Amino acid sequence: MKIGRWQTPFEQGDLYITGLFWGGDFMLQLPGGKRYQIKNTPHPGVDLSLELFHLPSEGRYRLHYRSVTAFRMLDEHGLLELWQALSELGDEQGCNSRLIKDHAWSQESPISFFHGHSDGWSHLICTGDECVEVLCPSAPEIIYLGKCAAMED
């Protein structure tokens, strides 16, 4: 497995995935000729939208991924391979955003990685509990949504 750095404004600190939206407008045509046009995207031209909350900055971010070939979201059980590889990196261990290649998913789904046009690299967002890994030709657009202040009791 190869792991590279992906510089983001939230790469250090605690990170939480607060939202994930997959899909854009969808056309379904059935064998009898019946067709359905389903408009379901809040962000036109975006295949995948991911929302994050970052501490200690209290910042909220939205990532827009375009031309997504494949993606997956894993809970802690699917992170074992990744955590093992990250623990071997030493001083870079705490980064939330990474580039990753030549790992189990690339071997399980070689056609997705072949068509990904990213030289086998995927973009990985990793929290203490879960991760989202996206295969697309370029880094997502990162949009700062502002701060989310703590609630008063």
- Determine the Cα–Cα distance for residues 64 and 142; give it in Å rounded to an integer: 7
Name the residue with tokens 């623990």.
Answer: 87
DSSP string, 64-98: EE-S--EEEEEEGGGGHHHHHHHHTTGGGTT-SEE
Cβ–Cβ contacts within 10 Å for residue 125, how many?
24
pLDDT of residue 118: 63
pLDDT of residue 130: 87
pLDDT of residue 115: 63
pLDDT of residue 92: 55
pLDDT of residue 57: 95
Domain-by-domain residue ranges, the chain? 2-147
0.75 exceeded by pTM = yes
Q: pLDDT tens string for the chain (153 positions)?
A: 888 889 999 999 999 999 999 877 778 899 999 999 887 667 878 889 999 999 989 999 999 999 888 898 987 666 667 777 777 776 555 688 988 888 877 777 767 666 656 677 889 998 888 889 999 888 999 999 999 988 887
pLDDT of residue 58: 97
Cβ–Cβ contacts within 10 Å for residue 89, how many?
12
